[in-house]
Amino acid sequence: MNGTSATASASAHVNGRANGHLNRKANGHAHAHALGEGEGEGQAGAPARRKAPPSPPPPHVAAHDEADEQSSYTFEIVDEVANFLLSRTVVRPTVGIICGTGLGSLAEKLEDKAIFKYEDIPHFPVSSVEGHAGQLVFGRLEGVSVVCMQGRFHYYEGYPLWKCCMPVRVMKLLGVKYFIATNAAGGLNERYKVGDIMILRDHVNFMGFAGNNPLRGANDDRFGPRFPPMSKAYDPELIDVAKSVVKDMNIGDIVHEGVYTCLGGPCYETQAELRLLKLLGIDAVGMSTVHEIVTAVHCGLRCFAFSLISNECVTEYNTEAEANHEEVMDTGKMRAPILQALVAEFIKRVDG
Ligand X SMILES: O=P(O)(O)O[C@H]1O[C@H](CO)[C@@H](O)[C@H]1O
Residue 154 touches which member of ligand HPA, ligand X, none, C-beta under 5-8 Å by kind = ligand X
Nearer CB in complex with ligand X: 97/328: 328
113 interacts with ligand X by CB under 6 A = no
The closest alpha carbon to 91, from 110, 117, 119, belongs to 110
199 interacts with ligand X by CB under 6 A = no
CA distance 154 to 257: 24
For residue 60, give the DSSP letter. Answer: T
Q: Binding residue for ligand X (CB under 6 A) from 14, 21, 82, 101?
A: 101
Which x/- pattern over 176-215 shows residues binding ligand HPA (rule: CB under 6 A)? --------xxx-----------------------------
Number of Cβ within a 10 Å radius of residue 264: 14
329 interacts with ligand HPA by CB under 6 A = no
DSSP 210-248: TT--TT-S---TTT--SS---TT-S-HHHHHHHHHHHHH
| Range 116-123, long-range pairs (CB < 8 A, 24+ positions) | 116/85, 116/88, 118/151, 121/81, 121/84, 121/85, 122/80, 122/81, 122/84, 123/73, 123/77, 123/80, 123/81, 123/166
Residue whose beta carbon is closest to ligand HPA: 186
- Taking the alpha carbons at both ends of the chain, their separation in whole angstroms is 24
Q: Binding residue for ligand HPA (CB under 6 A) from 181, 311, 332, 350?
A: 311
| 308 bridge partner residues | 184, 197
Q: Is the dihedral of CA 237, 240, 246, 249 positive or negative?
A: negative
146 interacts with ligand X by CB under 6 A = no
Task: Provide the residue type at 35 as one letter.
Answer: L
Residue 180 touches which member of ligand HPA, ligand X, none, C-beta under 5-8 Å by kind = none
Nearer CB in complex with ligand X: 74/128: 128
Q: Binding residue for ligand X (CB under 6 A) from 21, 109, 154, 222?
A: 154
Q: Binding residue for ligand HPA (CB under 6 A) from 144, 310, 343, 347?
A: 310
Nearest-approach distance from CB 281 to ligand HPA, in angstroms: 17
325 interacts with ligand X by CB under 6 A = yes
CA 226 to chain centre: 19
Which x/- pattern over 270-309 shows residues binding ligand X (rule: CB under 6 A)? ----------------xxx---------------------
Query: Which residues lie closer than 8 Å to 262 by C-beta, 6 or more apart?
Result: 203, 205, 206, 207, 285, 286, 287, 288, 289, 290, 291
Residue 313 touches which member of ligand X, ligand HPA, none, C-beta under 5-8 Å by kind = ligand HPA
For residue 108, give the DSSP letter. Answer: H
Nearest-approach distance from CB 189 to ligand X, in angstroms: 17
Nearest-approach distance from CB 64 to ligand X, in angstroms: 18
286 interacts with ligand HPA by CB under 6 A = yes
Task: Please count the residues of this chain forming the interface with ligand HPA, following the rule CB under 6 A.
Answer: 13
CA angle centred on 181, ends 308 and 339, rounded to 5°: 45
The closest alpha carbon to 196, from 186, 204, 205, 206, belongs to 186
Nearer CB in complex with ligand HPA: 100/139: 100
The residues in 78-137 that bind ligand HPA, with binding defined as CB under 6 A, are none
CA distance 78 to 349: 30
Residues in contact with ligand HPA by CB under 6 A are 184-186, 268-269, 285-287, 310-311, 313, 323, 328
Residues in contact with ligand X by CB under 6 A are 100-101, 129, 152, 154, 183-184, 265, 286-288, 325, 328
